[in-house]
Structure 1
Amino acid sequence: MTVVDWLLDADPSMRRLVQRDLLGVTPEPRALVERTGWGARLLALAGPDGLWDGGACFPFSFTFSEPGQPWTATLHTLQTLQILGLDPMSDSAQRIIGLIAAHGRWEHDGQRYFDGEVEPCINGRTIEAGAYFGVSVGPLVERVLGEQLADGGWNCYPSPRSSFDTTLCVLDGLLAFERATGGSEEVREARRRGEEYLLARELFRRLSTGEVVSPGYLSFAFPYYWHYDVLRALDYFRQAGGFDPRMAAAVEVVRSKRQPDGTWLLDRIHPGRVFFDFEEAGRPSRWNTLRAMRVLDWARSSAVGDLG
């Protein structure tokens, strides 16, 4: 069995992405994500009000006493369904989104779900979901544009310095908004500045010393939620456009983690409550393998020189 065969022998959401991104063929119908496998399981877990586990960012029952951050609330589940490729115009998706718009309130101060709250990392992901599912999020985009820091990125905490994690969450949202609406020159310029923040640091280094900012940035998890790593960053740039030579070191990190059998491992799982595990940490990961293979294919076809 080849690596691609192994990837195809999986959940329909995975098969569709392999067909589209690696094989370049017409993928199976999106309806399969809604009806079977991981997508159907997650949809079935939504409450009558459209929320997952009774909350926007945190489950209704969360008391901050359990280990890790729970990942069962609406924000994280919507992001996962986007990654799985749920058809945003399907009856199930539109019903859920309508319910979330009507009933979803942020734990911060009861703000309506698609109005966002105060943290750019949360608002970037809310913009991404809104754009994907056809919700108007223009005012929230304006908010995050006004919160861009002088160094080009964003941070969820009061600081003159940006955060890799927050910056990528906002960039994901702005890119989705551009794709859904055409965007504006203001949005494109903000996104370019945010990208430059990451590129100036080669996607994982400190600007001041060149040292690795965090070992976690070189460790690949799935789902990633709000967490940053270089595979997630490169996958963003793959979707956003052209290759920049300053990505080469990050590409080499991805290439170096390929196992002898051609797969990539699930390096870790971000701790916290989940509905179910997609994969097992320390074992070959279809999600990391798919993402790594399409990033390396893109880098090879875009960059000058051999990137493995």
Structure 2
Amino acid sequence: MGDGTDWLLDADPAIRWQVLRDLMDVPAAEVVAERARVAEAGWGKRLLGLQADGLWAGGACFPSSAWRPPGPAVGDSNGQPWTATLPTLRLLRDFGIDPSYPAVRAAVGGVRQHCTWEYAGEPFFDGEVEPCINGGTVAIGAYFGENVENIVVRLLGEQLDDGGWNCEAERGSTRSSFHSTMCVLEGLLEYERAGGTMPVGDARRRGEEYLLARSLFRRASTGQIVDPDWLQFSFPAQWHYDILRGLEYFRSADTRDPRLAEAVEVVRDKQQPDGTWLLENTHQGLIHFEMEEGDGKPSRWNTLRALRVLRWYDAEQPRPPGHERR
């Protein structure tokens, strides 16, 4: 497969434009042109077309049990409805869809006007109660140019003493969660990049330190792996944590630290002989449509994400003996 770029380019525009930008360094005009196609063709256009009355799947995050997807259900109907508004907007952000594209602006405007949270009926961009949900909402809102200041205020006030966040804090937990912390960090980084008015850098660095002190996947108390599932790479990650998602955050933030080294080598060692990475540990639930061939098969998304993490890391870090690029 060589360096894998031909295989990656034989894909939807959502993948193609990120390959051009992150792995090939083509001229900016070519990247912009391919990115525009995300909303005009393929998966991005398809997702936009599934919105109805400002919502996807009839709800913000937990649609009514009476709701059913049009046509044959895809995925596990007993799992999380990944077809709802929050995970759909999260996926459009993963696609890198252009927030200024007219159809995208119209879709986001529909969410602002019509979508409310199932928990208490608050407007979507005012947030909910759980940090993992609110972190995702901040990332979405900041990316699409919406006002999420109130959610940011809430998240800053909910940071725990150990530096992270936990959705169980309202029920008494004083220890942070990798899942919740990752969601919030992604949100604060997107907010910072969008020019948010509140200083969030210190809170973000404290959250980063929570993960770094644990090498992204080990217990602080014993050094043991917290959850073997975190060494498997899913896409979309949804609200779930794994070390590839963690490394993608640090790459995006351009935060270099020697404590990333072990997690990077886990990623490197999972490359297959043909140069790809597999799809693993898919999080069960209803989805709009399949984007890959299933767990255990080569994954364009995971291959793209792993290659750009390694490219970023190796640009400044010497590779250890026995880990030369394949």
Residue 30, structure 1, aligned to residue 35, structure 2 = yes
Higher relative contact order (CA 8 A, sep 6+): 2
What is the aligned partner in structure 2 of residue 54 from structure 1?
A: 58
What SS does the corresponding residue of 1:273 show, helix, strand or coil? strand
1: CA distance, partners of 2:34 / 2:289: 24
Residue 74, structure 1, aligned to residue 88, structure 2 = no
2: CA distance, partners of 1:113 / 1:16: 29
Alignment of 1:131-170 (within 5 A): 131-158=142-169, 159-170=173-184
Quick check: 1:243–1:303 contact (8 Å CA) kept in 2? no
Question: 1:151-201: CA deviations, max 9, x gaps?
Answer: 00000112100000000000000000000015544x000000000000000
How far apart are 1:275 and its partner, in Å? 1.1
What is the aligned partner in structure 2 of residue 203 from structure 1?
A: 216
How far apart are 1:23 and its partner, in Å? 0.4
What SS does the corresponding residue of 1:181 show, helix, strand or coil? coil
How far apart are 1:31 and its partner, in Å? 2.1
2: CA distance, partners of 1:4 / 1:253: 22
What is the aligned partner in structure 1 of residue 307 from structure 2?
A: 293
- Structure 2, unaligned runs of 5 or more: 68-75
What SS does the corresponding residue of 1:92 show, helix, strand or coil? helix
1: CA distance, partners of 2:295 / 2:62: 24
What SS does the corresponding residue of 2:81 show, helix, strand or coil? coil
Quick check: 1:245–1:303 contact (8 Å CA) kept in 2? no
Q: Which amino acid aligns with 1:5?
A: D
Residue 258, structure 1, aligned to residue 271, structure 2 = yes
What is the aligned partner in structure 1 of residue 73 from structure 2?
A: none
1: CA distance, partners of 2:250 / 2:128: 26
Quick check: 2:229–2:281 contact (8 Å CA) kept in 1? no
What is the aligned partner in structure 1 of residue 295 from structure 2?
A: 281
How far apart are 1:277 and its partner, in Å? 1.3
Q: Which amino acid aligns with 1:58?
A: F
2: CA distance, partners of 1:239 / 1:125: 16
1: CA distance, partners of 2:318 / 2:40: 43
Question: 1:208-236: CA deviations, max 9, x gaps?
Answer: 00010001110100011101000010000
Where does structure 1 differ by over 4 angstroms across 4 or more consecutive aligned residues?
A: none
Q: Compared with structure 1, are the counterparts of its residues 251 and 62 closer, same or farther at alpha carbon in structure 2 (3 Å cutoff)?
A: farther
TM-score normalised by the chain length of structure 2: 0.90
2:282 alignment partner, one of 264, 269, 277:
269
- Structure 1, unaligned runs of 5 or more: none
Q: Which amino acid aligns with 2:118?
A: E
2: CA distance, partners of 1:99 / 1:233: 31
Question: 1:12-37: CA deviations, max 9, x gaps?
Answer: 11110000000011313322001111
Quick check: 1:266–1:284 contact (8 Å CA) kept in 2? yes
2: CA distance, partners of 1:10 / 1:147: 41
Quick check: 2:13–2:34 contact (8 Å CA) kept in 1? no
2: CA distance, partners of 1:120 / 1:92: 29
Quick check: 2:23–2:308 contact (8 Å CA) kept in 1? yes
2: CA distance, partners of 1:163 / 1:277: 29
What is the aligned partner in structure 1 of residue 70 from structure 2?
A: none
Alignment of 1:238-249 (within 5 A): 238-249=251-262
2: CA distance, partners of 1:272 / 1:61: 13
How far apart are 1:70 and its partner, in Å? 1.4
Identity %: 58
Q: Which amino acid aligns with 2:63?
A: P
Residue 98, structure 1, aligned to residue 109, structure 2 = yes
What is the aligned partner in structure 2 of residue 303 from structure 1?
A: 317
What SS does the corresponding residue of 2:194 show, helix, strand or coil? helix
TM-score normalised by the chain length of structure 1: 0.96
Q: Which amino acid aligns with 1:56?
A: A
Residue 189, structure 1, aligned to residue 190, structure 2 = no
Q: Which amino acid aligns with 1:144?
A: L
What is the aligned partner in structure 1 of residue 19 from structure 2?
A: 18
1: CA distance, partners of 2:99 / 2:65: 29
2: CA distance, partners of 1:184 / 1:94: 25
